[in-house]
């Protein structure tokens, strides 16, 4: 398929394999890597965590204990036929397909991480409200300057692995295009029940954005994304101490105890001015805080920060004074204002990754928290609308990174615990399983 072994086009196919998907992309991966065997999952999946979102112990970590998300990621947005609630047979098919995945792949970055989540629109099918304790509103615009499309598909399947071939092989099996996944027979495909109505892909990790930047819309033609950066904007994110724990974001009671909520946005990036007009110090000031820039706290992509971004209570409390003194405010500094509870505990667990979908640089931004309202509050803090009365600060200028990111889509989902992951009712039952 490489037209006589043309090495350049071969590498291009591999880089884009998960973005493109399908049998040809899968065989391109398999031909390239002569892959190691993929570790299998347990024979008895009940030994797995009840939390579908329990990924942190299953991924690589860096020298500071920060989790490193799987390098390849896929979001499959799924729609059920008709308007009514699903039938027990559909539920059994979904569970059977997911159990096969559980057995086929070790739940880890070397194998496969996955989770299936449901939208408010899905629960509406039952004509019964979700319990009031479940904070799962329909998605809405979260800033005065965005007009996103809303993802209201029934369900969202998230697949992630350090191996592109694993993500692609799992997808092919779930779509019924392959009879097996890692040697395990599938009795039913996910597409026996759902239609895949949207497919979005991504990646995260040092080297991956730089490798994909050439010719990409949103990235200046000078290809400025540093080789060591896991993200297009040139810095690391997701320090351990600035992330909520999985325990904290887990619902502790109610019919979906053990689950969590997931907001997923998609933001387009336009980084011409980010790299073209801003110095390194200005980028540090706008992404972290002006004090980070003034005190030289960030080297290169910021790995020197260790396990904490260095956002202090003072930077949060004195943001207005900083705005006046430095003429700008930082993204992390602003968002942190709403991202702590009364005792300082972090409220959201961000698991964002980059994308070249539609041939433009973008970001898929899943965030886990106990309730969607928490995410909405954090996003409002990131908007910094309350700071735009400071003379140098405008809604999207000198106001964190808002000048460079544009929200395209938003969706809200409930991630049930594993035992309720297959087409649950609003009261958490799974009749027929
Ligand atoms: C291109 C887009 C984005 C980039 C490159 C980015 C990058 C960063 C970086 C480097 C940090 C500081 C390190 C850390 O704590 O992880 C940070 C913090 C943070 N960001 Fe973003 N971010 C982006 C979009 C967003 C969006 C859309 C939200 C949604 C509200 C968000 C919410 C946060 C929060 C809550 C923090 C932590 C603040 C704290 O509590 O300390 N970010 N981000």
pLDDT tens digits, residue range 279-326? 999 999 999 999 999 999 999 999 999 999 999 999 999 999 999 999
pLDDT above 80 (res 7)? no
Name the strand (E) or helix (H) holding 75: strand 72-79
Q: Tell me whether residue 89 is in a domain.
A: yes
Cβ of 108 below 6 Å from ligand 1 = no
Reduced to 3 states, what is the DSSP secondary structure of residue 118? strand
Q: State the number of CA atoms in the 13 A half-sphere of 335 facing the CB.
A: 22
| Token pair belonging to 388 | 């735009």
Name the strand (E) or helix (H) holding 79: strand 72-79
Tokens 């496969």 sit on residue: 112
C-alpha to C-alpha distance for 221 and 335, rounded to whole angstroms: 30
350, 402, 407, best to mutate for ligand 1 pocket (most atoms within 8 Å of CB):
350
167 CA from centroid of ligand 1 (Å):
26
25 CA from centroid of ligand 1 (Å):
32
Atom of ligand 1 minimally distant from the CA of 238: 16
Cβ of 407 below 6 Å from ligand 1 = no
379 CA from centroid of ligand 1 (Å):
10
146, 228, 242, 349, best to mutate for ligand 1 pocket (most atoms within 8 Å of CB):
242
Give the mean pLDDT of the chain.
96
C-alpha to C-alpha distance for 369 and 350, rounded to whole angstroms: 9
CB 430 within 8 A of CB 420: yes
| Token pair belonging to 428 | 């958490």
Cβ of 287 below 6 Å from ligand 1 = yes
H helix intervals, 105-154: 120-124
14 pLDDT band (50/70/90 cuts)?
confident
Residues in contact with 317: Cβ distance below 8 Å, sequence separation at least 6, in sequence order: none
143, 219, 248, 332, best to mutate for ligand 1 pocket (most atoms within 8 Å of CB):
332
C-alpha to C-alpha distance for 239 and 64, rounded to whole angstroms: 9
Tell me the torsion sign for CA atoms 235, 241, 244, 245. Answer: positive
331, 407, 409, best to mutate for ligand 1 pocket (most atoms within 8 Å of CB):
331
Q: Tell me whether residue 199 is in a domain.
A: yes
pLDDT above 80 (res 33)? no
C-alpha to C-alpha distance for 107 and 259, rounded to whole angstroms: 17
Cβ of 402 below 6 Å from ligand 1 = no
* The total number of structural domains that make up the chain: 1
Q: Tell me whether residue 382 is in a domain.
A: no
pLDDT value at residue 9: 63
pLDDT above 90 (res 210)? yes
pLDDT above 50 (res 360)? yes
- Give the phi and the psi of residue 346 in degrees, each rounded to 5: -75, 140
97: left (phi over 0), alpha (psi -120 to 50) or beta: alpha
pLDDT value at residue 48: 97
Atom of ligand 1 minimally distant from the CA of 265: 27
* Closest protein CA for atom 17 of ligand 1: 332
Cβ of 363 below 6 Å from ligand 1 = yes
Query: Once rounded to an integer, what is the mean pLDDT over residues 42-64?
Result: 96
C-alpha to C-alpha distance for 198 and 61, rounded to whole angstroms: 31
4 pLDDT band (50/70/90 cuts)?
very low
From residue 259, how far is each of 91, 246, 380, 387, 417 by CA, in Å? 18, 10, 25, 35, 5
15 pLDDT band (50/70/90 cuts)?
confident
pLDDT above 80 (res 5)? no
H helix intervals, 175-212: 208-212
pLDDT above 50 (res 171)? yes
DSSP 406: E
C-alpha to C-alpha distance for 193 and 213, rounded to whole angstroms: 37
pLDDT value at residue 36: 86
- Give the phi and the psi of residue 125 in degrees, each rounded to 5: -55, -25
pLDDT above 60 (res 51)? yes
Which has the closest alpha carbon to 137: 410, 383, 385?
Answer: 410
300 CA from centroid of ligand 1 (Å):
17
pLDDT value at residue 6: 57
Q: Tell me whether residue 43 is in a domain.
A: yes
Query: Once rounded to an integer, what is the mean pLDDT over residues 100-113?
Result: 98
* Closest protein CA for atom 4 of ligand 1: 233
* Closest protein CA for atom 35 of ligand 1: 335
Q: Tell me whether residue 102 is in a domain.
A: yes
Please give the residue range of the domain that contains residue 189: 7-203+416-420
Q: Tell me whether residue 349 is in a domain.
A: no
CB 421 within 8 A of CB 93: no
Cβ of 182 below 6 Å from ligand 1 = no
pLDDT value at residue 2: 40
């Amino acid at each position: 398929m490489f037209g006589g072994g043309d090495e350049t086009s071969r590498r291009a196919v591999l880089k884009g394999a998960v973005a493109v998907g399908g049998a040809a992309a899968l065989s391109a991966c398999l031909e390239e890597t002569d892959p190691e065997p993929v570790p299998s999952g347990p024979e008895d999946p009940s030994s797995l965590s009840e939390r579908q979102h329990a990924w942190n112990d299953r991924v690589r970590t860096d020298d500071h204990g920060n989790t490193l998300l799987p390098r390849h990621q896929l979001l499959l947005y799924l729609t059920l036929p008709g308007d009514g609630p699903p039938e027990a047979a559909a539920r059994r098919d979904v569970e059977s397909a997911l159990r096969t995945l559980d057995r086929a792949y070790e739940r880890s970055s070397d194998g496969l991480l996955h989770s299936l989540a449901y939208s408010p629109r899905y629960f509406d099918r039952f004509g019964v409200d979700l319990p009031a304790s479940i904070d799962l509103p329909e998605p809405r615009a979260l800033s005065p300057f965005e007009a996103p499309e809303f993802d209201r598909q029934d369900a969202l399947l998230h697949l992630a692995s350090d191996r592109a071939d694993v993500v692609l092989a799992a997808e092919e099996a779930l779509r019924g295009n392959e009879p097996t996944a890692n040697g395990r027979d599938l009795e039913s495909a996910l597409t026996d029940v759902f239609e895949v109505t949207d497919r979005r892909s991504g990646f995260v990790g040092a080297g991956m954005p730089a490798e994909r930047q050439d010719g990409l819309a949103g990235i200046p033609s000078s290809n400025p994304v540093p080789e060591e950066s896991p993200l297009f904007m040139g810095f690391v994110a997701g320090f351990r101490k600035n992330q909520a724990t999985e325990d904290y974001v887990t619902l502790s009671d109610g019919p979906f105890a053990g689950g969590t909520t997931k907001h997923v946005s998609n933001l387009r990036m336009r980084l011409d001015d980010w790299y073209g007009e801003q110095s390194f110090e200005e980028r540090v000031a706008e992404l972290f805080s002006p004090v980070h820039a003034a005190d030289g706290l960030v080297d290169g992509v910021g790995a020197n920060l260790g396990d904490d971004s260095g956002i202090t209570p003072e930077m949060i409390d004195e943001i207005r004074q900083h705005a006046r003194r430095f003429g700008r405010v930082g993204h992390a500094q602003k968002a942190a204002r709403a991202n702590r509870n009364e005792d300082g505990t972090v409220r959201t667990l961000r698991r964002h990754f980059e994308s070249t979908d539609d041939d433009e640089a973008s970001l898929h931004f899943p965030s886990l928290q106990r309730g969607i309202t928490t995410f909405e509050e954090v996003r409002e803090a990131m908007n910094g609308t309350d700071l735009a009365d400071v003379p140098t600060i405008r809604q999207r200028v000198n106001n964190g990174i808002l000048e460079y990111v544009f929200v395209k889509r938003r969706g809200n989902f409930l991630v049930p615990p594993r035992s309720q992951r297959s087409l649950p009712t609003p009261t958490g039952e799974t009749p027929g399983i």
